[in-house]
Structure 1
């Protein structure tokens, strides 16, 4: 069980696999007003930066689940590095359908709502692990500016304009699903730059070390186009944020 190999390659040097910065995660953690011992479930937890830093800074305990063997190993190493391995656990497994054995005060899916077939299904999944009155965290893209054409949307990691909502539309959709938005922290353009540009150096170094690999042509083509794609479309059109929700 693993994610497609190209993601393990291009994001192998990332600690955060989305456009958030460490400062944004610290802001979100403080905004949630968590007390020491708060239990968190993080589905599609990546390299574990959110759980590990929050365990260090706010005294939470938590479990992360991710399909990537590499990212899961990195999460365990990060927990050791920050001396929080006794408070956080990382499971190599499929987050889709995962329900915690013990209910949590916070249940999160930060940037991978495909595990539930979209936002609504992911919220239903997370709710199964949440204590009454707990907080759900959803990380989701939105259109900063709605694309004029389908082609523009496809340059922004979407198959069509309808894949994402505008920020007002996304926030309204949470209410339509029966949730109050009780906090939000939005990524900025510099966060997008850090997330995307870090891939470019990783790809270049990987190509130098693996010229004969079966993915070398694909990664070379990606590196050829990714910087212009980012500054032309992604940076201008695509936003991303984490939204804290409570059931009404």
Structure 2
């Protein structure tokens, strides 16, 4: 089973591919879209769940999503039609880090997709290329909430603690205007949904050639989460604007 298909199945019950519940998503978008008629770009949009929320919350807004996954973009199109916002949504199958936009955007999103750019600061560099003057970036990334084990670092990569993460962002000439730290409930709910949705699909399709692999991947992910990084992993969404001067 390829990574894109596995991700689509794993997010069946949690379309926002990050550990946030709908109330947190709505609150962040309300802070980012202050006028209600903003042009919004999501780099690494997946199923475009953030854009769908934004367009439903703000009838005057328009959205553009960029992702490499054709199945995820097709699901986004279907859900946009169902939600009645398809006319205000444009989707592009492309690499998020090389996407060329036709114009600047008032809000640029990239939540849980920093791996596509090589890290948090390269993600902000990419977002800045598309940002209109005075615009805002909403970025979501991991940080170490507690001291990680060597195994956790090996699995997930090198992150900083929350203070170090914010220091790196401000040193790069960005100013936080709001933020959300995923709660323990949000973090656990995301992982149970990820592993549970993939497991349920495998159990519901025992004769599918990918069933055993999907069940094994869900079990391995669940074990890694519970044993290796649950107590140290955190996730922060930062609403940022360019620092004046």
The alignment yields a C-alpha RMSD, in angstroms, of 2.0
Equivalence for 1:158 = 156
CA deviation vs aligned residue, 1:9-53 (integer Å, no higher than 9, x gap): 333443111111111101101222521210011011111121111
Q: How many equivalent pairs are there?
A: 240
Mark the CA change 1:188 to 1:210 in structure 2 (over 3 Å): closer, same or farther: same
Q: Matches of 1:146 and 1:212 in 2, distance apart?
A: 41
Counterparts of 2:31 and 2:180, CA distance in 1: 9
Structure-2 separation of matches of 1:140 and 1:103: 23
Gaps of 5+ in 1: none
1:139 match: 140
Extract unaligned runs of 5+ from structure 2. Answer: none
- Corresponding residue SS for 1:28: helix
| Structural mapping, 1:234-245, within 5 Å | 234-245=229-240
TM-score, normalised via structure 2 length: 0.89
Instruction: Find the partner of 2:181 among 151, 163, 186.
Output: 186
Query: Once the two structures are superposed, what CA deviation does each residue of 1:72-110 show, in whole Å capped at 9, x if it has no partner?
Result: 112112212221112222222221211321111011211
Q: Does residue 105 of structure 2 align to residue 110 of structure 1?
A: no
Bigger mean CA deviation after superposition, 216-225 or 72-81: 216-225
Tell me the CA shift for residue 61 of structure 1. Answer: 1.1
Matches within 5 A, 1:60-75: 60-75=61-76
8 Å Cα contact 1:32-1:183 kept in structure 2:
no
Corresponding residue for residue 169 of structure 1: 164
Contact 2:146 2:231 in 1 (8 A): yes
CA–CA distance in structure 2, aligned partners of residues 33 and 108 of structure 1: 11
Q: Distance in 1 between matches of 2:179 and 2:100?
A: 24
**Distance in 2 separating the partners of 1:49 and 1:9:** 15
> What stretches of structure 1 move > 6 A for 4+ residues in a row?
none
